[in-house]
Structure 1
Amino acid sequence: MSTLTPRGRTPVLRGPAWVTGRLHRRSLWTALVILVLLTGALLGLWWTAAATHTDFAATGCPLWDNTRECDGPARRYLDAEYRFYWLLKILDLLLPVLPAAVGAFVAGPVVARELEYGTYKLAWTQSVSPARWLLSRLVLPTAWAVTLTAAFTAVFRLAWVYGPHDGYEVRWYDDFYYLGLGPVLVGYVVLGIATGALAALLTRGTAVAMAVTAVTVTAVLLVFSIKLRGLLLPVTRVTGDEQRSENAWVVDWGRTTVPGSPGTHTTYHEYHPSSHFWPLQLIETGLLLALAALAVLAAFRVLRRLHA
Structure 2
Amino acid sequence: MSTLSVSARWTFRLHRWALITWAALVVVGVGLLVWLAGPLMDEAARGWQQLQACRESMCTVDSAAMGRYSGLYDLLTDAMFLMPFLVAAWAGATLTARELESGTALLAWTQGVTPARWLTSRLALPAVAVTAGAGVLVALHRYVWSASEDRVGTRAGWWLLRTFYANGPALVAVCLTALAVGALTGLLVPRTLPALGITVAATALLFTAAHWLMPYLWPSVTEVSRFQDGYRGLYTGVELSHGLVTRAGAHIPAPECHATSMDVCRRIYEQHGGTGFYVTFHPASHHWPLQLTTTAVLLVVTALLTAASFAVLRRRTG
| TM-score bracket relative to the smaller structure | 0.7 to 0.9
The equivalent of 1:100 in structure 2 is: 85
Q: Amino acid of the residue matched to residue 222 of structure 1?
A: T
Number of positions where the alignment pairs a residue of Structure 1 with one of Structure 2: 292
Q: Secondary structure at the match of 1:95?
A: helix
Q: Matches of residues 218-233 of structure 1 in structure 2 within 5 Å?
A: 218-225=204-211, 227-233=212-218
Q: Secondary structure at the match of 2:146?
A: helix
Q: Which of 19, 25, 29 in structure 2 is aligned with 1:38?
A: 29
Q: Which of 76, 83, 88 in structure 1 is aligned with 2:68?
A: 83
User: How big is each residue's C-alpha offset from its partner over 1:66-104, in whole Å with a ceiling of 9 and x where there is no partner?
Assistant: 634xx22xx22x532332222221222223321122122
User: How big is each residue's C-alpha offset from its partner over 1:224-264, in whole Å with a ceiling of 9 and x where there is no partner?
Assistant: 32x21221112111223374399433331122312279953
The range that moved more, 181-190 or 38-47, is 38-47
The equivalent of 2:135 in structure 1 is: 150
Q: Matches of residues 149-228 of structure 1 in structure 2 within 5 Å?
A: 149-163=134-148, 166-225=152-211, 227-228=212-213
CA distance 1:206–1:53, change in 2 (3 Å):
closer
TM (norm. structure 1) is: 0.86
The equivalent of 1:8 in structure 2 is: none
Q: Secondary structure at the match of 2:303?
A: helix
Instruction: Find the aligned partners of 1:171 and 1:33 in 2 and give their Cα distance.
Output: 30
Q: Give the CA deviation at 1:307.
A: 0.2
Root mean square deviation, CA, Å: 2.6
Instruction: Find the aligned partners of 1:55 and 1:92 in 2 and give their Cα distance.
Output: 23
Whether 1:264 aligns to 2:254 is no
Instruction: Find the aligned partners of 2:112 and 2:155 in 1 and give their Cα distance.
Output: 58
User: How big is each residue's C-alpha offset from its partner over 1:11-66, in whole Å with a ceiling of 9 and x where there is no partner?
Assistant: xx93011011011111111111122122222222332244336756998x844436
The range that moved more, 257-266 or 296-305, is 257-266
CA distance 1:239–1:258, change in 2 (3 Å):
farther
Instruction: Find the aligned partners of 2:200 and 2:107 in 1 and give their Cα distance.
Output: 29
CA distance 1:103–1:56, change in 2 (3 Å):
closer
Instruction: Find the aligned partners of 1:218 and 1:198 in 2 and give their Cα distance.
Output: 16
Q: Amino acid of the residue matched to residue 185 of structure 2?
A: A
Instruction: Find the aligned partners of 2:2 and 2:164 in 1 and give their Cα distance.
Output: 35
Q: Secondary structure at the match of 2:96?
A: helix
Instruction: Find the aligned partners of 1:57 and 1:288 in 2 and give their Cα distance.
Output: 39
Q: Give the CA deviation at 1:126.
A: 1.4
CA distance 1:299–1:53, change in 2 (3 Å):
closer
CA distance 1:54–1:224, change in 2 (3 Å):
closer
Q: Secondary structure at the match of 1:173?
A: coil
Contact 1:245 1:273 in 2 (8 A): no
Whether 1:283 aligns to 2:289 is no
User: How big is each residue's C-alpha offset from its partner over 1:119-157, in whole Å with a ceiling of 9 and x where there is no partner?
Assistant: 112211111100001111111111111110001111111
Instruction: Find the aligned partners of 1:53 and 1:218 in 2 and give their Cα distance.
Output: 35
What residue ranges of structure 2 are gaps of 5+ in the alignment? Answer: 250-269
Instruction: Find the aligned partners of 2:73 and 2:107 in 1 and give their Cα distance.
Output: 46
TM (norm. structure 2) is: 0.83
Whether 1:65 aligns to 2:50 is no
CA distance 1:99–1:246, change in 2 (3 Å):
closer
Q: Secondary structure at the match of 2:37?
A: helix
Q: Matches of residues 10-25 of structure 1 in structure 2 within 5 Å?
A: 14-25=5-16
Q: Which of 96, 115, 118 in structure 2 is aligned with 1:130?
A: 115
Q: Amino acid of the residue matched to residue 283 of structure 1?
A: T
Contact 1:131 1:300 in 2 (8 A): yes
CA distance 1:296–1:42, change in 2 (3 Å):
same
Instruction: Find the aligned partners of 1:303 and 1:151 in 2 and give their Cα distance.
Output: 33
Instruction: Find the aligned partners of 1:55 and 1:180 in 2 and give their Cα distance.
Output: 26
Q: Matches of residues 290-305 of structure 1 in structure 2 within 5 Å?
A: 290-305=300-315
Q: Amino acid of the residue matched to residue 159 of structure 2?
A: Y
Whether 1:249 aligns to 2:259 is no
Q: Give the CA deviation at 1:169.
A: 3.0
Q: Give the CA deviation at 1:2.
A: 8.4
